[in-house]
Every structure is written in C-alpha cells, then in structure tokens.
Chains A and B, each alone.
Chain A
C-alpha cells in the first residue's frame, strides 16, 4: 500500500520537474509561499488565541485571496489550457491578476484595523 503511494508521489514529482515550464514553476513557488504564510497565521490563532480577531481575519483572507488569484493566473497562462481561454492573452491574465489584487489589498487593509 505505502509502496504505491510512494511510487505515485515520486512519479508525480518527476513529471512535475520535467514537464512544467519555468514560468509555471515560478508561480507555483509563489503559491507555496502564500500557503505557508496562511498556515502559519492559522497556527498562531490556534495556539495563542483570536485576539485581535479582525487582524487575524484580514491576514488569513489576504492569504486565501492571494492564493486563489494566483491559481487563476496559473490556469490562465498555462499553454495547455489555451483552448479554454482563447480571448484572454497572458498579458491580459496578468493585468486581471493585478487589478484583483488591488481590490483585495484595499479590503484587507481596511479590515486589518
């Protein structure tokens, strides 16, 4: 059982490192960073307490929002998905990403207190 899991994981990692382009790996690294940050904030909240709750929410939602937008960007610039996004060029995807982030940051800063 564990053997198959290990083999699946190792196969996945091998395919990932060879098949994915550099651009996507850059975005993946960014997504991994956001994930870590969000997880650490959640850990703090669990361990120490929810004071101040609004700040915790702002930070956590910032991570979640950024992660989602990053995922959207990755999907849109992936050449394999080109068929799904004919009218959206890579630059357009990036511009959308920036605009959405501006709105997200405005909300987060408003809420952070």
Chain B
C-alpha cells in the first residue's frame, strides 16, 4: 500500500530527470561521537539522567557505569511525583537489569494524572511511566483525554507530545484522529529557501516532531504524510547544527537520528566520496560510501551509475554500470572506460530498499592526467624573411644548448604541442605561459601562448612591438614555459632557453622604473606669496616728514593770526570735554594698533557719551556767555 507509492515517486523523479533534493547535512562519525560525548557528561538530576541514558541508547551506546546509573535512579526517585516516575521508569528501561520499585500508590498517582485536567506533558509522562513499568492502562480513556487537551493546547510542542503519547497506546485504540495531527503539524513547518523545513519554535521542537511522527507511523503501520522533499528538508534542519546547547537538545537530535535511520517508511540515504572525487591513471578506482544519516553503512544497498556525462563535451561515457562492494565501500574502476581528462557529472542511484529517500545523487568527478610537452621548436625569424630561419628542437626537461639572439629586425618564435602523457590526445590546459626573466635587473615579463585550430601552440615575440613591456632593456632573458590546469597532476615549469634581446634606443633609465616607483619622490617646497616690492625706507621716511610738515605751517599761521586759548574757562565740563576728546583720539590710536571694531565701538560709546554730555554743557555755557555780550 505504502511502498509502491514511494517507488512510483522515485520512478517519476527519474523519468522527469528532475534534480531531486539531496541532504546537505547529516551526522558524520565525528558528529555522532560529539553527540555521544555531550550525552555522556555526568548527570546531576533525574531529568539529565533520563536524557543521557535514553539518548545514548538510541545511538547504540551506553552510559559509562550502568550500575552506578541504576543506583542513582533508584536513589533520586520521588514516588509521589509523576515527572520523577517518568524519568526513572524510562531510564531504567534503557539499562539492562534495572528495575524501579513501585507500589499501589504509584499506580494510582499515575492513573490519576491521565485526565482532561492535566497538561499533555503530564498525560504523556504518566502514560509512558505506566507502560514502562508494565502497569495496565486504558488506552481509549487516554485517547479521549489527549483529544480534549489538543483542542485546548494548540501549540507545536503539545501536539508533538500527544503524538508521542499515542505511540505507547494499544494498537487497537482509535488513533486515527491523532494520526491526522501529523499532517496538520507538518503544514505548520516553515520552508527556508527550499532547503530547510523547521518549526519557528526551534531545533528541539522539529527534532521531537520527526521522532514522534515516525514512531507513531511505525506503531500504527501507516505511512507518514510527508513528501520526499519534506523529509530531506527536515533532515537538513535537524542535522545542520553540529554542537548542541543543552542535553535535551542533544537528546532530541539523537532520537530523531534513530527514528530516521530505522523506521519502516522513509530512510534518507547519504552518498559521499571517500576523499576527493578524483580518478587518474595511478588511482583509477572511484570510492563511494553509502550510509544512513548516522553514518552507518546501509546493510542492503546497491549502487549503480545511471550516467556519467562529460561536462565539457556533454557526451555520455558510462551508463547503467554497477559498483562493486568491498569492505563496506563501493568501488568502480572509472579509468577502464578510458575517459579523457576533465570533469564528469555522475548520476548514481541507490537501490535495494524501497524505504530509501533521496537515493538519486549527482556527483562531480574529476579525471586527472599527466601532460607532456612535445615538438618544442625555438626559432629566430627575420621580419622580412630574407635570411632563413634557424630552428632548434629542445626536449623536455633539457635546456637549449646555445642562446637565441633577437633584435628589432627579428622575431623570436616558439612552437610546441601539449599531449596527454597516457593517451597521446592533445590537451589545452588553462595555463600556458611563457615567462622572460632578466636576472640582472629582476624584470619579469609573462606572455600567454595560444593554441591554433589544430591544437598546436605558437608563441611569437616581436621585439620592436613589445619593447614597452621590457622597458627597452636589452640583455639576456631566461625563458620558462609554465603549464598548469586543475586536471593536471604534473604542472610544468621548464627552463627552455636563454634569449638575448636587443632593443633600439635605450631611453629607459639605468635603474628599473618599477624599483623607483615606490621610493620617496623629490620634496616640493612651498613657495609663499612674495611680498610686494617696497620702496626704500629713505624715500618713505622723507615723505613722512614732508606730509607732517604742513602741521608746523598751520601752527605758525595760527600764531600769526593771533589764535590763542586765553578764553579757556576752567569749568569742570570743559575740562571733562577736553579730556574726553583727547581720550577719543587716543582710542583711535589704540584701535589702530590693538583693538577690533567691536571693542572700539564699545569704548567709544562710553567715552563718547561722557564727552558729548560735557561738551554739550560747555558749549551751552559758551553760547550763554556770547549772547550775554
């Protein structure tokens, strides 16, 4: 009923050629060890004892000292508490020859907890304790209580706990309603990028859901309503975290791993390479491992290459070839099909078990080879073809005997072929460089050698055209050929010959320009603005005296006219006025030398107002005196 459906799904995927989702995360052997390590930490209370003991048993391991653990359980048990009874009972079940003592009261307490008024967790723990202790329980009542509680507590953890509770009930009970909850819960999962499927409540909730769904499906012999892609996405979510925060989280992951590797319906399979996925003539065999998510090898699995297609040429090299199993590792001699070097896209299928999920895997395999340089011909060609060319052949790894000279009338040429050392097929690697190195000046110039249509490599150096790259430095250059590629096992660095290049007009400076590029440049001196030319001091002094001289003339004229200060009245206002006026003139001088406008105005306001008042008084007195005459 269920199995043909899964098989059809696989066929459909193959027929459509769709790229099925494969797990990107699983628990490697070191991850499993780490999980066991976390669970093996010493426990201090019943709850951590439960997580450790039961978790380790799910992973196929045991606690360090079982007797000690059993004694601990018995000592810590509180027969009045449902939780305590649950932890102790479940843990003791996992240890051989460990029995927790019970009394009639225990049974009554546990049975009393199974009702609509307790939480789902309480019901679950009571039911599990009853079942582990071998006490009878009424499954139908439990179902009724669970259904009532699910209606009230509509959250993910509660429903998952209800599912777990149902796994402890008799198979004759009405579990259909509870089974439907699996599908409803699955609808609540969040899809992250099509790769992960998890509850927003977190990893623990997702892992507990997976455990509950598969355990209940096994118990009720009904296939869980989860699609293949959903199963893979759940696997990715649960096993992407490789270090766990708490014992309960580790416990939930251990339970999920155990459920996914040994349930009756869906078993996700992991196909991985042992080491890098590379084959070559020295290592012609491709090794693959087929395991479940706990990295345990699958007992009955067969591996088949459905097709192996070259990435570059899209030609199919291999089709429907089986792997052979040796010591738990699947092997295939790929080099027997004599593939050319490069990358191949493998599609492998795992068969043998109808429960397998994600059993079609795509792999990229690299075939590497060794390269050989043949027919290396070096020649100096005259540009106008008047003098015949001198060609000399050099064999790898030797160096050409003489040096080659090329000046501005000649071109230096290099022809060679790159072939696969094993098959003789012509190769075009990614890196074929020709390097000139001037040992005296340290200059290095690198060119690319390009193949023509017949895969023959040609390199020509036009001395006149390329002189800028060489900075017109004539001299002896050591010539290297560099060949490299990802699929080559023997990259080549070959000192082929010495080439003497002669350039015209050596304009280049004696020192290499690149060397002086990073030296300090000459200092720039800042030129301040030149002050304007001033006339000689003598001239300005003369004119200063000249300009001040009319003042003398004024005094003389005034004296002649008889101007005097005999009418000067010594009244306070006139004294104050004159003093104030003198201060104002003094302030002008101070303004010129020290102050700014604002300060001056401030002082001027003070002095000015005083002077004004005094002056006003004085002039009024004068006027009165004048009118009196």
A residues touching B (Cβ–Cβ < 8 Å)? 22, 25-26, 29-30, 32-33, 36-37, 40-41, 44, 48-49, 51, 89-92, 94-95, 98, 102, 105-106, 109-110, 112
Contact = CB atoms under 8 A, between A and B. Distances in A.
Given A33-B553, A51-B532, A91-B619, A40 B546 contact: yes
Nearest to B622: A91
A92 B532 CA distance: 47
Contacts of A51: 532-535
Nearest to A92: B619
Contacts of A89: 623
Given A30-B554, A106-B588, 9 more contacts: A32-B553, A33-B554, A48-B539, A48-B540, A51-B532, A90-B626, A102-B604, A106-B604, A109-B592
Contacts of B539: 48
30 contacts: A22-B562, A22-B563, A26-B558, A26-B561, A26-B563, A32-B553, A33-B550, A36-B550, A36-B553, A37-B547, A37-B550, A37-B551, A40-B543, A40-B546, A41-B547, A44-B543, A48-B535, A48-B543, A49-B535, A51-B535, A89-B623, A91-B619, A91-B620, A92-B619, A102-B608, A105-B585, A105-B588, A106-B588, A109-B591, A112-B592
A22 B564 CA distance: 11
Nearest to A50: B532
B597 interface: yes
Contacts of B563: 22, 26
Contacts of A105: 585, 588
Contacts of B534: 51
Contacts of B543: 40, 44, 48
B107 interface: no
Nearest to A91: B619
B532 A29 contact: no
B579 to A, nearest CB: 14
B356 to A, nearest CB: 99
A41 B547 CA distance: 7
A40 B588 contact: no
Contact of A109 (B535, B558, B588, B622): B588
B600 interface: yes
Nearest to A49: B535
A33 B561 CA distance: 14
Contacts of A106: 588, 591, 600, 604
A95 B623 CA distance: 12
Majority SS at the chain B contact face: helix
A94 B554 CA distance: 19
B45 to A, nearest CB: 91
B467 interface: no
Contacts of B558: 26, 29
A29 B615 contact: no
Contacts of B58: none
A102 B591 CA distance: 13
A82 to B, nearest CB: 13
B422 to A, nearest CB: 93
A110 B622 CA distance: 34
Q: How many of chain B's residues touch chain A, expressed as a range?
A: 35 or more
**8 cross-chain pairs, A with B, having the tightest CB-CB distances, nearest first:** A91-B619, A33-B554, A36-B550, A29-B557, A44-B543, A33-B550, A48-B535, A40-B547
A22 B620 CA distance: 22
Interface in B530-549: 532-535, 539-540, 543, 546-547
Interface of B: 532-535, 539-540, 543, 546-547, 550-551, 553-554, 557-558, 561-563, 581, 584-585, 588, 591-592, 597, 600, 604, 608, 615-616, 619-620, 622-623, 626
A91 B592 contact: no
Nearest to B551: A33
A29 B588 contact: no
A37 B550 CA distance: 6
A109 B587 CA distance: 10
A60 to B, nearest CB: 11
Contacts of B620: 91
Nearest to A51: B532
A26 to B, nearest CB: 5
Nearest to A35: B550
A44 B546 CA distance: 10
A110 B83 CA distance: 97
A49 B562 CA distance: 40
A92 B620 CA distance: 9
B550 A29 contact: no
A102 B581 CA distance: 10
B258 to A, nearest CB: 97
Contacts of B557: 29, 32-33
A40 B535 CA distance: 17
Nearest to A52: B532
A49 B563 CA distance: 38
Nearest to B536: A48
A102 B584 contact: yes
Contacts of A49: 535
Contacts of A29: 554, 557-558, 561
A105 B557 CA distance: 25
B621 to A, nearest CB: 9
Contacts of B591: 106, 109-110
Contacts of A102: 584, 604, 608
B52 to A, nearest CB: 93
Contacts of A91: 619-620, 622-623
Nearest to B590: A109
Contacts of B623: 89-91
A102 B609 CA distance: 12
B543 to A, nearest CB: 5
